[in-house]
Amino acid sequence: MASNNSIHLQRLLDRLKQGDDAARNELIGAAYERLRLLARKLLHHDFPRLRHDTDTILDETVLRLFKALRECQPPSVREFFTFSAALMRHVLVDLARRQKVRRAHEANSVEGHETDGRRPTPFVDSADGPPVCALWAEFHRRVETLPPEEREVVDLHWYQGLAQSETAELLGKTPKAVSRLWLKARVKLVEWMPGVEEIFPNRG
């Protein structure tokens, strides 16, 4: 993220804190494309067969962000990105839960129409079936339990898609320090959830 963009965002946050409601709309506009890219990355890279499109995730995230900014005014660009990432994470958890319930209902419907006496095999999408959705939901919850510095790096580098150098600028750290925090966070998540490395590749 360029420094002039960070300055622009900080000015919008300052205006919002001073009660300028128009700044809220401008903040949403400034974050919109980054959120769109994030939603697209998650769907097409990490959830290639999730039964939702980019606009579904984007619309839910933007709606929550718009409402939340009425009550909460992040004081800095860094906290704004962390806040936005948390909202996106909550949207993902909700979508994963809804899909799990829907697919379970579909499987039960198939069983209800069974006529040959055999128990049907529930359909499981090998790339993004209910087990993977459940794993992702748990992964997002686990991120919440990371130490603050590690969680911020995951929020900015993974969820927001910032480069490590951009993450370092926002956090006021060196790229090497951010790299160490990223590695620590990833090691913990993989240790806590064996198999998560398959859907949480090392971005470097």
pLDDT averages per 10-residue partition of the chain, 204 residues? 76 94 92 81 66 81 90 86 78 75 72 44 36 63 90 85 86 94 90 67 54
Give burial (CB, 10 Å; 0-12/13-18/19+) of 121: exposed
User: Is pTM, for the whole model, over 0.75?
Assistant: no
Q: Residue 38's CB: how many other CB atoms inside 10 A?
A: 23
Rounded Cα gap, residues 22 and 60, in angstroms = 21
Q: How far apart are the first and last CA of the chain?
A: 18
Phi, psi for 172 (deg, rounded to 5): 70, 35
Rounded Cα gap, residues 118 and 17, in angstroms = 63
**pLDDT score recorded for residue 130:** 45
Instruction: Find, among 39, 49, 44, 62, the residue nearest to 133 by Cα.
Output: 49
**pLDDT score recorded for residue 164:** 87
Residue with tokens 């909700």: 94
**pLDDT score recorded for residue 180:** 95
**pLDDT score recorded for residue 128:** 42
Rounded Cα gap, residues 169 and 174, in angstroms = 8
